[in-house]
Chains A and B, each alone.
Chain A
Amino acid sequence: MNLIELKDIHKTYHLGEIDVPVLKGVSLSIAQGEMIALMGSSGSGKTTLMNLLGCLDHPTSGEYWLDGEEISKMSYAARAQIRNRKIGFVFQSFNLLPRTSALDQVMMPLEYTARELPRSEQIGMARKLLEMVGLGNRLDHEPSQLSGGQQQRIAIARALVNRPPLLLADEPTGNLDSQTTVEILQMFRRLNDEEGITVILVTHENEVAAEAKRIIRMKDGRIENGAFVPDMQFAAAS
């Protein structure tokens, strides 16, 4: 059973009178524990695919199975639940809350999942994650006091606080210098190796993509190559 299964996904935007087809029949599958780079030039539909994978949007037609659940027909609220439990997001621009301590940033998603959890336990969870990403001594710092790499690490900790099986990173290194890019990518790598979290990186940088175990390339709303889970021997060999 694959973690993600897309079957002939179409997505068409209606801009007034004109229909703009963005995804024209995408099928792909991703297994648990993979680390994937989603590449493509701008306008290829990778952001739209990303939004669909992240359950932020629903396809015009086709099926999307995530962890054994069919997402595409789900209601808005149900998709919010799925996002909360199954997916962690990391963004290019970090999207941290301004003037909020690192600890509170990481605890924020718990407001929607673990309401009944005592606050002390929530703090414990957040602290452990921040220590894991190497910010154990920066718990009270606000974003403006931290470097870009540190901010992105907070964002990663925040994405992991609900223990999702899937981590979606939308150009996570787009705003970082090459040194921190390497650090962040290593962190994704480690999460993938040690925690078994499935990571999908959207990027257009080849160096970033090179860190992934599989590259999915998109062009004109279709997948050019790498759509399906390679068999295990092949994956082991690469």
Chain B
Amino acid sequence: MRSLLRTFRTALRAIRRNILRSGLTTLGIIIGVGAVIAMEEIGQGSSTAIQKTIQSMGANTLLVQPGTASSGGVSFGSGSITTLTPQDAEAILRECSAVSAAAPIARVRAQVVYGNRNWVPTYIYGSTPAFLTVREWEELEQGEPFTDRDVRNGASVCLLGQTLVRQLFGDESPIGKEIRVQNVSLKVIGVLGRKGANMMGVDQDDIVLAPWTTIKFRVAGSSATTSNQSAAVVGDPNQKVNSLNDRYPAQQTGLYLTPSASQLANTPQPIRFTNVDQILVQAKSDLDIPVAVRQITDLLHDRHNIRPGQPNDFNVRDMTELSKAMSSTSDLMSGLLLCVAMISLAVGGVGIMNIMLVSVTERTREIGLRMAVGANSSDILRQFLMEAIVLCLFGGAMGIVAGEGASWAVNFFLGWPTELSLRAIFAAVGVSVAVGVIFGFYPAWRASKLDPIEALRYE
């Protein structure tokens, strides 16, 4: 240990003897390591930013849909049976560790009326506040989102997408106004941020978002018999006379006699559970998606009493396309950074080797002298190797400072996102020592193989 310390001290002395040249040599490593760290941190920052953007497009969301109904070998397609409940959504959030949010969705397609304008939005979604979390849509343009309490109460409130606001309100502020969906008036309490079209080209801003209880029990309840609104209007003239104060749907004309209490008790009807059309789930990260899919599948198997071998009454979809885009982006990014790092460190290493070779030639007499006073070749090898390593370590340390400074400057002056990367720092120091050993070995080996007689006589 002490001899190592002594070698280290000798190396320091030798480096100090030629401070300018040593400084220039380390400059190569400083720039190399600094570049690696700065690139890594800037790259990490932008990579994270890009991943966040892709995530907001829904890369780590999963969609749980009811399964298919089939009759006599004819399948009616996904969603044709109603098997999912809001309690499923709660259970998924509670019991699946890879899931960070779950929102049940009830859908309806209907006309929305405000004043003398009307519009049929692409989406009328009933959900919970978690919907906004899953879709990364928490930033509202105006107003406030609805709350869990609104969901429990089935409050007549809604959030509007930008397209809908433009169609119904023009330049007017929609906040506090009441719109009517299927004759149910909903108070607009917020306007969603702009999201634009999704990957399929469907306008995502064309949306009414309300608590799912409101959509399920107030809005959809009124159109249980038919989804054709115009038919309903024609079929039931009472509905034409709508009063804004009538918050509950008009009664359908009863086709059957109302059973009495005793009749009901004698012939119990199967009570239809409340179903939702979809459950939107957010996985903790894109890496957790496969885990989340497995956990949700297991959980719903349990909850729906599906025995092994029986077909599922639900299916779980992930956004494979998006997550692929995401992983390929980050792969590309890290590959690019690795290339830059390797090149700059190789350049720095060659610089070190160059200077060490010059140094060996210049100090031939010193080497001869050291051998004459009893240094053997391993001593000389160790000394020159140590010098190279010390140079590289020093360069590495300076490089860390330079790299951190550069990434800070980029963050501060250009506003690019950067991320402190401990991995880059450790890697840079490790690599700079490795560079010192690898590129310092050849000159050191040459020095150790010098003939002391020749070396002493060298001019």
Contacts and interface: CB of A to CB of B under 8 A. Distances in A.
Interface of A: 51, 54, 56-57, 76-77, 80-81, 83-85, 88-89, 91, 95, 97-100, 104, 108-109, 111-113, 115-116, 158-159, 162
A115 B6 CA distance: 7
Nearest to A80: B376
A56 B452 contact: yes
Contacts of A100: 13, 17
A54 B373 CA distance: 10
Q: Which 10 A-B pairs have the closest CB atoms?
A: A84-B374, A80-B376, A109-B373, A115-B3, A99-B17, A77-B376, A95-B369, A112-B374, A83-B374, A112-B375
Interface residues of B, number: 25
Contact of A111 (B10, B368, B378): B10
A57 B7 CA distance: 27
B453 A51 contact: yes
A99 B21 CA distance: 14
B13 A116 contact: no
A158 B3 contact: no
B366 A112 contact: no
A85 B372 contact: no
B452 A84 contact: no
A54 B453 CA distance: 10
Nearest to B376: A80
A113 B6 CA distance: 12
B2 interface: yes
Contacts of A89: 369, 372-373
Given A95-B365, A95-B369, A116-B2, A109 B374 contact: yes
B347 interface: no
A111 B369 CA distance: 13
B17 A80 contact: no
Interface in B322-379: 365-366, 368-379
B398 to A, nearest CB: 23
B375 A80 contact: yes
Interface string B372-414: 1111111100000000000000000000000000000000000
B456 interface: yes
A56 B10 contact: no
Given A115-B6, A116-B2, A85 B17 contact: no
Given A81-B376, A108-B370, A112-B374, 14 more contacts: A51-B453, A56-B371, A57-B453, A77-B378, A80-B371, A80-B374, A84-B375, A88-B373, A89-B372, A91-B456, A111-B6, A111-B379, A113-B374, A158-B373
Nearest to A54: B372
Contacts of B18: 99
A66 to B, nearest CB: 14
Most A C-beta atoms less than 10 A away, residue of B365, B368, B376, B377: B376
B373 A81 contact: no
A84 B371 CA distance: 9
A12 to B, nearest CB: 15
A48 to B, nearest CB: 9
Contacts of B374: 80-81, 83-85, 109, 112-113, 162
Contacts of B371: 56, 80, 83
Interface string B16-30: 011000000000000
Interface string B270-294: 0000000000000000000000000
8 contacts: A84-B373, A85-B374, A95-B366, A95-B369, A108-B370, A109-B374, A111-B6, A112-B370
A210 B215 CA distance: 121
Nearest to A95: B369
B379 A112 contact: yes
A115 B371 CA distance: 16
B453 A83 contact: no
Contacts of A104: 13
B366 A97 contact: yes
Nearest to A115: B3
Contacts of A113: 374
Contacts of A77: 376-378
A99 B453 CA distance: 23
Contacts of A112: 370, 373-376, 379
Contacts of A109: 373-374
Contacts of A159: 373
A113 B13 CA distance: 19
Nearest to B452: A56
Contacts of B365: 95
B17 A98 contact: yes
A112 B365 CA distance: 17
A91 B379 CA distance: 22
A112 B375 CA distance: 6
Contacts of A98: 17
A227 to B, nearest CB: 23
A113 B375 CA distance: 9
A155 B456 CA distance: 14
Interface string B253-265: 0000000000000
A116 B3 contact: yes
B366 A76 contact: no
Contacts of A116: 2-3
A100 B12 CA distance: 12
Nearest to B371: A80
A197 to B, nearest CB: 16
Nearest to B16: A99
Contacts of A158: 373
Nearest to A79: B376
Nearest to B459: A93
B376 A76 contact: yes
A54 B376 CA distance: 14
Nearest to A89: B372
A76 B377 contact: yes
Contacts of A91: 369, 456
Contacts of A97: 17, 366, 369
A115 B372 contact: no
A95 B453 CA distance: 13
Nearest to B18: A99
